[in-house]
Amino acid sequence: MVGISTSNRQKYNVIRAFEAGWGGVVWKTLGSQVKNVSSRYSSVNFGSQKIMGFNNIELISDRPLAINLKEIKETVREFPDRAMIVSLMADNYREAWHTLIKQVEDTGAHGIELNFGCPHGMIERGMGAVVGQDPEIAKMVVEWVMEAATIPVITKLTPNVHSVVPTGLAAIQGGTDALSLINTIQSVTGIDLDTLVPNPNVGGQSVYGGYCGPAVKPIALKFLSTLSKNPQTNKVPISGIGGITTWEDAVEFILLGSSSLQVCTAAMRYGFRIIEDLCEGMSNWMDAKGFHSIEDFRGKSVQYLTDWEQLDLNFHIVANINQDKCVHCGLCYIACEDTSHQSIFKVDGNPYNTYTINEEECVGCNLCKLVCPVDECITMVEKRKGDENINWIEYQKRGLPLNDH
């Protein structure tokens, strides 16, 4: 299931999402009444790419709880075939959680997501990331929740930790039915060089915000894979979150163990109709690969992630430049000459220079391929240094010379 998790959660938005084809929704976090500030969003752009990263300092829903509960109930009744998950962040004591869960279950919602990850605000109340950063507190709160909940419970983890495994394991021990990650990453997205105030500007001041969007996808995939690789935490379903924009992104999260997906920033950037590309693209890819269901490929890439010391030191690649595709821009040469291994020859010419690889010096770092603006112009060719697969541990045991590699 691909679910929508947009920032402005109200019935109008949810209905628009469902009409566009989304399979479910995570309703914006409910809890104690708050008041949000203005402004509340900022972004990081890169070149012509708008909103490469997105930042918010918005708290939980500032709409009255009664209105949210009324609209959730109405939406469930109008769209009984879509998943309705309600995000919660109650005050940090048992009775508050029990009361809020009872109110949510009375709406007919299908599940609850515990917000243990909001990195800004609510800290003074012992809520949000402060819970997700302490496994013992997280386990205690999950246990409180499971005492009252009769519908499935998902625990949403914070990435503002060294590892999500301890908190994920604690939530499982507390009885959670599933995990989701990542929540946003604490950040400062930039500073207005005229006013000198960091963004977003709230009357001449700012605070650390929650970072999300395409820029956080690699971090989300790393944290996801650590849960998927761990036999103690991969026993429950995991909902993947963090920078999912295209169908390729969605496939990657599933390949690393996600059972479901949540999308927020991309919908805010492009609108709800991106679900069409997500579904059609993934379906076409599955057909091409011969996969009939999500379970046919879920987690298949986890096996290829290992520890550095297990990598084959005899595996070696070198760059190759296709002269027919080369546009003679020289970017590969500049990158290699200035910051890498000086393994590209430049021959001055008229009307243009030509570039070739010095295979003896090339270490196969991929830098030239990454900076090249032409697809498939630079490829990496395997040139093994030995038939044997030998890793760092075995290399040290044998006392082999380091300068061979």
Give the pLDDT band of residue 124 (cuts 50, 70, 90): very low
At residue 282, the pLDDT reads 98
| Cβ neighbours of residue 276 closer than 8 Å, sequence gap 6 or more | 20, 21
Q: Please indicate, yes or no, whether residues 238 and 379 belong to a single structural domain of this protein.
A: no
- Would you say residue 82 has pLDDT above 90? yes
Contact 82, 18 (CB under 8 A): yes
| Length of the chain as a residue count | 405
Q: Per residue in 299-351, pLDDT tens?
A: 999 999 999 999 999 999 999 999 999 999 999 999 999 999 999 999 999 89
Place of tokens 């038939």: 387
- Range in 16-20, 31-35, 106-110, 381-385 the model is least confident about: 31-35
User: What CATH number should be reported for the domain holding residue 391?
Assistant: 3.30.70.20
Going 80 to 85 to 86 to 92, the CA torsion angle's sign is: positive
Residue 337: helix, strand or coil by DSSP? helix
**This prediction's pTM:** 0.93
Of residues 124 and 37, more confidence is placed in 37
Give the pLDDT band of residue 242 (cuts 50, 70, 90): very high
Q: Please indicate, yes or no, whether residues 344 and 288 belong to a single structural domain of this protein.
A: no
- Would you say residue 132 has pLDDT above 90? no
Contact 197, 191 (CB under 8 A): yes
Q: What single-letter amino acid sits at 197?
A: V
Element (H, E) at 10: none
- Range in 89-98, 118-127, 204-213 the model is least confident about: 118-127
Percent with pLDDT over 70 in the chain: 94
Q: What is the mean pLDDT of the chain?
A: 93
Residue 124: helix, strand or coil by DSSP? helix
- Phi and psi at residue 160, in whole multiples of 5°? -85, 50
The radius of gyration of the chain from alpha carbons, rounded to an integer in Å, stands at 25
**Is 118 noted as a catalytic residue in this protein?**
yes
| Cβ neighbours of residue 73 closer than 8 Å, sequence gap 6 or more | 106, 107, 108
Distance CA 110, CA 243 (A): 25
- Range in 2-11, 28-37, 170-179, 319-328 the model is least confident about: 2-11
Q: Please indicate, yes or no, whether residues 16 and 52 belong to a single structural domain of this protein.
A: yes
Q: Please indicate, yes or no, whether residues 313 and 262 belong to a single structural domain of this protein.
A: no
CA 159 to chain centre: 10
373 is written with which tokens?
Answer: 């603006």
Going 65 to 105 to 118 to 211, the CA torsion angle's sign is: negative
Q: What single-letter amino acid sits at 278?
A: L
- Would you say residue 405 has pLDDT above 60? no
Q: Please indicate, yes or no, whether residues 328 and 203 belong to a single structural domain of this protein.
A: no
User: What CATH number should be reported for the domain holding residue 88?
Assistant: 3.20.20.70
Q: Of 256, 279, 304, which residue constitutes the final position of a domain?
A: 304
395 is written with which tokens?
Answer: 């290399």
Q: How many domains does the chain have?
A: 2
Contact 155, 142 (CB under 8 A): yes
Q: Of 270, 304, 338, which residue constitutes the final position of a domain?
A: 304
Contact 117, 150 (CB under 8 A): no
Q: Please indicate, yes or no, whether residues 205 and 283 belong to a single structural domain of this protein.
A: yes
What are the residues facing 202 on neighbouring strands?
205
Q: Please indicate, yes or no, whether residues 358 and 325 belong to a single structural domain of this protein.
A: yes
Q: Work out the burial of residue 306: count CB atoms within 10 Å of its CB; fewer than 13 is exposed, 13-18 middle, 19 or more buried.
A: exposed
Cα angle 292-294-300, degrees, rounded to a multiple of 5: 105
- Phi and psi at residue 66, in whole multiples of 5°? -60, -40
> What is the DSSP secondary structure assignment for residue 223, as one 8-state letter?
H
- Would you say residue 136 has pLDDT above 60? yes
Q: Per residue in 247-304, pLDDT tens?
A: 999 999 999 999 999 999 999 999 999 999 999 999 999 999 999 999 999 999 999 9
Q: Work out the burial of residue 72: count CB atoms within 10 Å of its CB; fewer than 13 is exposed, 13-18 middle, 19 or more buried.
A: buried
- Would you say residue 174 has pLDDT above 90? yes
Contact 76, 151 (CB under 8 A): no
Q: Please indicate, yes or no, whether residues 257 and 289 belong to a single structural domain of this protein.
A: yes
Among residues 374, 364, 397, which one has the least CA distance to residue 322?
374
Give the pLDDT band of residue 32 (cuts 50, 70, 90): confident
Catalytic residue among 118, 326, 368, 377: 118
Q: Of 304, 336, 351, which residue constitutes the final position of a domain?
A: 304
Give the helix ranges, DSSP H, for 290-355: 331-339
Q: Please indicate, yes or no, whether residues 259 and 355 belong to a single structural domain of this protein.
A: no
- Phi and psi at residue 151, in whole multiples of 5°? -115, 160
Q: Please indicate, yes or no, whether residues 96 and 217 belong to a single structural domain of this protein.
A: yes
Q: Please indicate, yes or no, whether residues 254 and 358 belong to a single structural domain of this protein.
A: no
Q: Please indicate, yes or no, whether residues 32 and 154 belong to a single structural domain of this protein.
A: yes
| Cβ neighbours of residue 131 closer than 8 Å, sequence gap 6 or more | 92, 116, 137, 138, 141
Range of the structural domain that residue 340 is part of:
308-404
